[in-house]
Structure formats: structure tokens, C-alpha cells
Amino acid sequence: MLRLPQTHSGRDVLVVGAPPGSGRTRLVRRWLETAGAAWSWVALSGAVPSPMMDVVTRAVGGHLDRDGPGGFLVVEAVEALSPAELEDLIPMAAGLRLVLVGRGDVLPSGLAVRLAGRVARVLGEDLWWPAERVQSQVATLTGAHVDSARADRIHRLTAGWPAGVLALGARPVLPGDADPVAQEGVVDDLVLRGIPGPLLEFVLATSLLPGQVPDPELCAALVPGTNPARLLDEARRWGLTADRWPFTASDILPDNAYHPLVAAAARRMRARRGAGDAENLNRAGVLASARARGPLAVDLFRAAGAWPHVLAELERAAVQGFRGWETPHLHEIIKALPEPVWASDAQGRACVAFAAAICGDHLLAAEVLAPAPPVEWWPAVTGLIGALGGSTNSWDPENAFPLDIFGIRDAGALNATIEVLAARTAAFAGDQGAATRHLASAWETGSDRLPRYVLLAGLGVDALVAAWAGDLSAAGRLAGRAFRLASQAGLDGHPLLATAGLAQAEVLRSRGDAAGALDRLDESAATLSTGAEFVVTPAGGAPPTQAHRVLRARLLLDLGERTAARDVLSALHADGDEQLPPALAVRLALAHARLAELDGDLAAAQSRLEAAPGVPAITSALLFVTLQRQDQHETAAVMARFPADAGPEDRLRRMLSQAAQALAEGRRGPANDLVNEALVAAEPDGHLRVFLDVPAVLRMLISTTLRRAPDASNWRRSLASRLDDAGADDDTVGVTRRELVVLEQLTTDLTHAQIAAGLFVSENTLKSHCRNLYRKLGVHSREEAVRIARVKGWLSSSPRGDAVIDVNITPTPEVIEL
């Protein structure tokens, strides 16, 4: 803002469009003071004795008479001028740099087009302050000096809202935690009190509930006799909506929703007034219900105190498995629902119990079920809630006839539902065979009668099992079918889509698109976090969210972002990663081992892998670590216990592990054959990641093999390029420059004392360097460290002038040219 005169020196119209309380006036005055030019200020506020345009005309003439051309003319509250008057002002101020200060877009769209190239803009969102700028802005604009801790607290209380920052920053003492400043009170005092009366009434009525402002018909039901579209547009111009003021720098906020602080301030002011508008709220609730906007209808009925209507709306939503509901919101509603509303009604009691089970609150579900009413379908209700909770409670199909609130109308459909839930548990337990059997049983016994939300769960589990087995085409097809079905049935964003979203991300990772997989995880973050609470395991874990975090860590490692991956793994450990289901424990061990390997700590990587379940993915990773440690005996032992393949990706891992072992033993011919076989098997499904996780020497062999084919496919060319990129990151990861110097000295015949003297360090310091090197290389002696360093190419020369040759590479023309 303060650099505008320098950065836009060729533009003669400068526009500052920001809401009241944004500090716009102080910013412009400060900017003019730093510009060092003559300026005049015209404030078109409420009580101007003569027509607005006459005031501006006199100001222009007075400035030109006094200071001549070349100065600045500021017109504040420019919205007081009509579009025609504003257009007349531009040529009138020729020779001056015109600064237009207003509360919205300031320039009409037609005038903005005609002035293209002459206008520099500063909008409200440009004036929003992140935490690091609060301290300097408070000092600049109010003269108050605050320390960084107080600046952080001011930003936390105001969320960067400039009106609040300036108000709190100018106070001599910031109240402590015992007497906190209500941030909505700041907005109430500095923003809402300054807007026109009709707009204030509209905001007070429509800011009660999130998501209803974009619907003019609902707004008209809440505020009869208004023009909602006009008032909403007015609210946007005043900067009251989230799309005008960002809440934080990174949030993506919905259009035409009130800024959170504005909504909070409006609720505070409305509560203080004690407004009674239950009739309007009920009318809007009925309208929202008719439009199938259940969560909004429930909130409207709740605000009106119409609890029977709330229960009726919940029963309608239960038929579809509460699609479109966020579980925290649903949980809040059922906890607030007064017991007399549902206690004497068997169907209402069942609805509340079902909702509690969906939210993962099985204690509440059990309390609701305690005085079981004598109805024929009650065994089915308790059986289904038990299955949702992961318990082993039996259910009797003879008496199983649940209510329509479950969307399940016969015993066969109930059996299929429980089979789907059992398949989901088996998938996360790492039992692919059991998951497949449960799904087959579900499809046979009632797939055509399953509720759509349960069918989504089954397809998602099927897709995830296929993705983890390496059947990428099947996984992509099943996950895509789940999302298409959800879209057709109006179930977009349903919690049980969580596993389908995970499957899509796993497929992208296996095909080498780590960045795309990470984007897919971010897109489905809300679904994944909600899905974690929809169905829980017997141990109380939340597999979809845990799988999301483990996969995120692995993708960050694939992208080379070690610090971010370490943070994700640390957070997962703090939440209790020892409770992970077996399938996720395997993937977590792979992530920790990869991180240790990148840090140069091969011993820690091997220890992690040895403690993990002995599945093919773990065994192949362990084999590659032992190969890097040059431990031939351990490598042979690992290869001897390689488990049976569980899918296409395991077959690829076995072939690449055998190739790596053959290469280490000097058998280049068999290694070549195995690599070719793996490439042929991997190409149809697009597997790529598995080739990037092998040791560097095997990657070189794969790259050489790929480059021998002049008519290579796009997949092979892509793999060759990725292998080259991976090669650039090999070798000295985790080893410091000083440790490399020590390595060079260890190749000589000098003793430790002589090396320490030559490097001007103590012998203890040298021994510390050696211990770190041995740990990172996974060795226990000086001779082993030198041998591995030579193989890796870390040593710039040999003291005896010897050439370091990898005897495993046949001197073919390709290698000689390279």
C-alpha cells in the first residue's frame, strides 16, 4: 500500500476499496505523508451542506490554485457520488493524481473498463493483515508499540480483522485471560454499528445459520418484506461477507457467506436484543426441509425451539443414512435434543440411537437403547448398531426386520450390510482374502437391496483392497464407480466414500504421481475426516483418517519433503500409532524406514523393518537395506523367507528383489532377465513407484535396459526420466561435509591420533565423527566404512592411485559411452 506512488507512477487514478474499520483512511494519510507531494482531502460524509459534486469541484479548483498540477486529490466515501458524477470527476481532475476511497468496488464496471491502464487498485483483502504484520501496522497507524507476544494475541482475538487490530492495539493494557476481549464485540462496535438500519436488520436475521445467505428465498422467509438480493449485494459492498475479508490467509471461504466474526457479532447483538422471530424461523425451516436441506432445516427449527420438528427432520434424514450431514453437527444436535421429545416414541428412540452410533458415540447409543421398547424390529436395531461399532454381538435373522430409518427392509439386506462392514475391518487388518470373501457374500445376499451409502462403502473397500494388492486398473475402476454412484444418488461427500478416495490416491502413488496423489488426499480431506467417525474399529481407532496420514507421510517422502513428513509421523505417533491396524502398521513402518534411510541411518531403517509384519513389501525393503549395508549373510536369510505373493505388486517386488541380489553377487545376466520380466509385467497397469524404491545400482541397470529400446513406450520413457531424477538424489544424503573429510583420511594408513592432529581437532572429536559415520553406514569398523564409501563413490580419489571399478557392470558400449 505504501509503495503505490513508486510502483504505479504512470497511473493517475488510485482506488482504495475497503470496508469501514479497515484502517483505510489512516493508511492513505500515511501513504501521502511518505509520498512527499502536495495533497488535498475531501470527505463526502453524511452532513455536507451543499451538493456532493459542488464540494468536489471547489476542492479541485482550490488545490490547483494553491499547489498547481502534480499533487494528489483524495475523495473519501466516494460511494456518495452517482456513477455519472464519478465519471465527470475524472476529466475534471486532469493534472492531478486522483485517489478514490470507498467501501466497495468504487468504480462502476463500465467506467473501470474505459479507464483500463490508468487505474491502480487496493482492495479490502489486500489490507487484511497476517500475524507477522500486526506489530508493524499497529506501530505505524496508532503509534502504539506492542511486543510480538501481544501482537500474536491481538491477531488471534481479531483473526486479522483490521478494525479489531487497530482497536486492541491502541489500548494501553490488553485484558488477560481472566477477562478476555470478545472478538465479536470488536466487530459489533466498529463495523455493524456503522451500517444502514435495513442492512443491519437483514444481517441480524440471516447470520444466525451458516450457508443460508446465498438463498434469497430463505432470506425472504426470515426477513419478510425485504429484497434479499439487493441487501445481500449491499452486505458484500460493505465487506461483511467472507469472500470480501479472508478469515485466514489459507482458508478457501464460500461466496456470499458472512465473515465468521460478522456472524458472531450479529448473534451477540441479536441475543442482547432478545428478538422473538420463531414464526419466521419455522417458516424458513419448512422451506429448507422441502428443498432437502436437512441440516439447515434442523438448525432453523432448533433456533425456533421447535424440537418435535427437529426430530421429524432427523427421522427423514436417517432413511438415507444422514447423507450430507457432518458428524460433529449431527452429534451436537442429538445431544441437545431434549429427552422427553423422543423418550416415549419407539421410532424416535431408534433414530437417536442410530444417529449416536453413526457419530461413534456408542455410550449414548447404549443409554438410549437401555429401556428397549417391545417392538419386533428391536433385535435388528441393536445388531446393526453393534456391527457399526465393530462389536461381535450376534443378531437373529429370524427377528430381524429393521425400520425404514436404516434403509434396510429385510434380513438379507441386513446381512449384506454387516458383511460389508466386516470386509472393511478385514481390509484394514491386512486380511485381503477375508475382505474379498465378505464382499462376495455381501453382493450375493443382497447387493441389489443395499442402501446406497452401504454400497458406497463396499465399493470403496473393494477398491482399496485392489489398490493395496497392486491391481491398479481394478482399483481405479471400482473407486470411480463409487464416486459416480454417489453423484447420481446425491451422496457427494458422504463419509463412506473415504475408502474410495484413499484407493484413488494409492493408485496415483503407485503410478508415480505423488503430487497428484497428495492433491487427491487434500481434495477428500473433509470426507476422510468425517468417515473416520462413521464406523470405528473394536479398538476405537479411526482407520480412514490414520490411513490418510500415513499415506500423506509417504507421499511427502516421495517428493523429498523430509521435514514435513517427519512432522506428520510425529503427530501420528503422539496420537498413538501403536494402535494402528496391521495393514497401516506395515505402511507406517515403510515410511519410518524410508525416513531413516534418507537420514543415512541404515541400522535404524533395518530395525524398523524387522519389527514390522513380514509381508512382501516389508521383506523387499529389508532386503534392499541389507544390500546397502553389504551384509551378504543377512541378505540371503531375508531372501530365503520372502513370503508368498498377495497381488501383482508383490510379484514385482519379488522379481526386483531377486534382481538386486543377483546383481550384488555379480550375476548380471540373471539380473537383466529379471528386470526385463518386471518391466513387461508392470507396464500394462502403469506401476512405476516400485522401480524407484530399489537400490541405486539396480536403478542404474533398469535405466540402462530402458534406454536400449529405441521405440520405447511413453510409460518406459517416463520411468527412465524418473530413474534419472532419483539418481541425482542418491549417495551422500545425511552425511556432513566434515564427515566426508574424515572418510578421505580413513583411507590412509594414519592412526586416529595422526588424523586428528592433521585436522586440528581432538582425538575424541574425531572418534565422535567416526561413530556417526559408522552408524549412518550401518557398519562397525574403519575397513567396512571405507569399502562402502568406495562403492558409493563418496571418495574423490584413492591414496594409492587405484581406480574404483564396479565389477558388476559389464563393459558394454552403452556403459563406456556413459
Eight-class DSSP state of 257: P
**Residue 322 Rama label (left phi>0; alpha psi -120 to 50; beta):** left
Grid cell at residue 165: 487490530
- CB–CB of 622/661 below 8 Å? no
Domain ranges of the chain: 4-127, 131-181, 182-305, 316-406, 450-580, 645-727, 737-815
CATH class held by domain 737-815: mainly alpha
- CB–CB of 651/469 below 8 Å? no
Would you state the pLDDT for residue 810? 37
Q: How far does CA 346 lie from the centroid of its chain?
A: 41
Q: Report how far residue 577's alpha carbon sits from residue 314's, in angstroms, rounded to the nearest whole number.
A: 35
The dihedral over CA atoms of 282, 284, 286, 290, expressed in degrees to the nearest 10, equals: -170
Q: Which residue has the cell 512432522?
A: 567
Helix locations, 629-762, DSSP H: 632-640, 648-664, 668-682, 689-692, 696-707, 714-727, 737-746, 752-758
What 3 state SS string does 150-179 have? HHHHHHHHHCCCHHHHHHHHCCCCCCCCCC
Q: Report how far residue 241's alpha carbon sits from residue 250's, in angstroms, rounded to the nearest whole number.
A: 16
- CB–CB of 383/393 below 8 Å? yes
CB atoms within 10 A of CB 744: 16
- One-letter amino acid at 593 equals A
* pLDDT tens-place string over residues 100-154: 888 767 787 778 778 877 888 777 666 667 777 788 877 877 777 778 888 887 7
- One-letter amino acid at 402 equals P
CB atoms within 10 A of CB 654: 21
Helix locations, 559-667, DSSP H: 562-574, 582-598, 602-610, 616-628, 632-640, 648-664
- CB–CB of 97/72 below 8 Å? yes
What integer is the mean pLDDT of 20-46? 74
- CB–CB of 120/6 below 8 Å? no
**Percentages (nearest 5) of helix, strand, coil residues in the chain:** 65, 5, 35
Q: Report how far residue 128's alpha carbon sits from residue 773's, in angstroms, rounded to the nearest whole number.
A: 50
Confidence of residue 635 (pLDDT cuts 50, 70, 90): confident
**Whether CATH 3.90.1150.10 fits 4-127:** no
- CB–CB of 75/101 below 8 Å? yes
Would you state the pLDDT for residue 104? 67
* pLDDT tens-place string over residues 256-282: 577 777 777 787 777 777 656 788 888
What integer is the mean pLDDT of 364-381? 56
Q: Report the SS3 class of residue 492.
A: coil
Q: Report how far residue 60's alpha carbon sits from residue 80's, in angstroms, rounded to the nearest whole number.
A: 17
Q: Report how far residue 149's alpha carbon sits from residue 137's, in angstroms, rounded to the nearest whole number.
A: 15
* pLDDT tens-place string over residues 479-532: 999 888 888 777 777 767 888 888 999 999 999 888 888 888 877 766 655 444
CA-CA distances (angstroms) from residue 389 to 356, 359, 407, 418, 578?
A: 11, 10, 18, 11, 20
Q: Which residue has the cell 421447535?
A: 306
Q: Report how far residue 555's alpha carbon sits from residue 517's, in angstroms, rounded to the nearest whole number.
A: 8
Would you state the pLDDT for residue 210? 57
**Whether CATH 3.90.79.10 fits 450-580:** no
Residues in the chain: 818
Q: Report how far residue 623's alpha carbon sits from residue 638's, in angstroms, rounded to the nearest whole number.
A: 6
* pLDDT tens-place string over residues 730-776: 544 456 667 778 888 888 888 988 998 888 788 888 888 888 888 77
Closest CA to 322 of 298, 338, 286: 298
- One-letter amino acid at 286 equals V
- CB–CB of 645/654 below 8 Å? yes
Q: Report how far residue 17's alpha carbon sits from residue 121's, in angstroms, rounded to the nearest whole number.
A: 8
* C-alpha torsion sign, points 104, 166, 139, 170: positive
Q: Which residue has the cell 501496522?
A: 137
Q: Report how far residue 524's alpha carbon sits from residue 521's, in angstroms, rounded to the nearest whole number.
A: 5
Would you state the pLDDT for residue 808? 38
Query: Taking CA 638 as the corner, what is the angle to CA 464 and CA 786, rounded to the nearest 5 degrees?
Result: 115
* pLDDT tens-place string over residues 63-80: 777 777 778 888 888 877
Lowest mean pLDDT among 367-371, 509-513, 563-567: 367-371
Grid cell at residue 484: 459416480
39 sits in which H/E element? strand 39-43
Q: Which residue has the cell 465393530?
A: 390
192 burial via Cβ count (<10 Å: 0-12, 13-18, 19+): buried
42 sits in which H/E element? strand 39-43
Confidence of residue 467 (pLDDT cuts 50, 70, 90): very high
CB atoms within 10 A of CB 171: 13
Q: Report how far residue 369's alpha carbon sits from residue 354's, in angstroms, rounded to the nearest whole number.
A: 10
* pLDDT tens-place string over residues 568-626: 898 888 877 777 888 899 999 999 999 998 888 888 888 889 888 889 999 999 988 88
Eight-class DSSP state of 513: -
Grid cell at residue 263: 456472524
- One-letter amino acid at 32 equals L
pLDDT cut 90: percent of the chain above it: 8
Helices 52-67/83-92 angle, 10° precision: 10
Half-sphere exposure (CA, 13 Å, Cβ side) for 205?
Answer: 27
Would you state the pLDDT for residue 172? 53
* C-alpha torsion sign, points 786, 787, 792, 797: positive
Which phi and psi angles does 37 have, rounded to 5°? -110, 165
Closest CA to 189 of 17, 21, 18: 21
Confidence of residue 163 (pLDDT cuts 50, 70, 90): low
Q: What is the layout of strands, in order, in the sheet containing 39-43?
A: 39-43, 72-76, 97-102, 13-17, 119-123
Query: Does residue 34 register a pLDDT over 80?
Result: no
- CB–CB of 39/71 below 8 Å? yes
- CB–CB of 595/569 below 8 Å? yes
Helices 294-303/278-290 angle, 10° precision: 170
Helices and strands (DSSP H and E) totals, the chain: 45, 5
- CB–CB of 768/778 below 8 Å? no
Grid cell at residue 191: 463495523
Query: Does residue 812 register a pLDDT over 50?
Result: no
Query: Does residue 16 register a pLDDT over 90?
Result: no
Grid cell at residue 653: 517386488
Q: Which residue has the higher pLDDT, 784 or 480?
A: 480
Q: Report how far residue 52's alpha carbon sits from residue 80's, in angstroms, rounded to the nearest whole number.
A: 7
DSSP E strands, 278-362: none
- CB–CB of 775/735 below 8 Å? no
CA-CA distances (angstroms) from residue 137 to 95, 368, 393, 394?
A: 32, 55, 62, 65
Eight-class DSSP state of 221: H
459 CB-near residues (< 8 Å, 6+ apart):
478, 479, 481, 482, 485, 500
Closest CA to 644 of 424, 464, 507, 469: 469
Closest CA to 20 of 119, 121, 166: 166
- CB–CB of 591/610 below 8 Å? no
- One-letter amino acid at 319 equals V
- One-letter amino acid at 405 equals I
- One-letter amino acid at 262 equals V
